[in-house]
Chains A and B, each alone.
Chain A
């Protein structure tokens, strides 16, 4: 019968090494622009709170679950995007103008992660943030809807309420500083929110029972668009889902297009400048994983994304719906490189090695083999590192 182990007197050579604490810096402005390419930075507390409040994107972004704090590495594209955001935060518009900036690139190149990095950066810089991590959930008939004859759109009260709640949880301090600049009628019985009141109080009213959350979200976003004290970021992943035919059907069983739903319509109107966004921008990321909701040709042409071979071959005869053309005008594209870059991949790999995550003995051969197998694609590289049992 083997004797029980006394863990106070063990020979440490018989046991694996303990992972050393990573002590990552936070994703704060002073760290991002001085960090080396490939340096891992942890998402700050405000960003983690935003992800808890709004949710995470479709693909598993918390693949680093083995670590105490989720992190991502700084890439060239990160520095470029955050620089662009800093420039845009200073621009103040007096007239409605297009503000949409859409990330595009191959599947798995890191668009959603860049969006999350941008979100964290904006929160640390005092922006007001509204985040829709999975636009697919807005159009896949997974929440209640009803027709509103006044606006001729289909209202989505539960999604609007969730967005209002997230807005309040993440941006409460900023909302308390903003004063409403005109009387806002928010109830069907003529209930009015007087000018001069704090915007956070209007948001809290929206969370009460029997409130029209769609009207209140509209009013809050309009006020945020008019004010110039805080820049506003509306971050939307799977941006193409705002254009396509949704899974919803109307009472006559005709399909409902996404831009006839209240929440996608609001985002699109801000992006193309139909509604005023005085300071800030709409930052979207295409989501190629949803192959039954493909980005339409006018959107791809507006942002400079690659067309499918069929659309490219069709040329001027490819289908271009008038509404797609309208909601794509003025949008700018931000191409995300297909490859992560060797320095960024190396930083990522070293963090995994230090955290004792890999099943395989670490070596340069192993790193280069996996990087080459993945062709530098971020998702495939992560999968190659974690799923190998060599």
Chain B
């Protein structure tokens, strides 16, 4: 074989390999559209955006992870509903209803606290189910959460603003929890 040809083959495979991209999620993979003007055209997947040199040096790696790691739906939630200081962020004391992928398919309750940890942000909902208090901790980035419905927002017109970030005192206050669970049942 012509040695020049051998080099060309080697470089082309090298280029092909550098172009293979590991998609973060199935949604990203589906974005690669076929070439509309020819069926036989070979379309190499576009290379990922080059990382800025400051990032390669080591500056602001966690900020980069925070932006790129969560899927777009989770990113939307993290920047609005579960952001520490967004104007429409959920305050503790709000009543929320979730639709989940696995059992229990619906869970509603009062938001007792949000744990802000970037992509690992989680929140706790408390409700009284069949005369037993139940608390569930959900992760905002979880694909299990199909839908979040905000039934009442604490601190808005007509509702009381909670003076605590974490409402663990509700565990001992049966009367308040009964009132809350009654309103949850009415609202759902």
Q: Do A and B come from one complex?
A: no
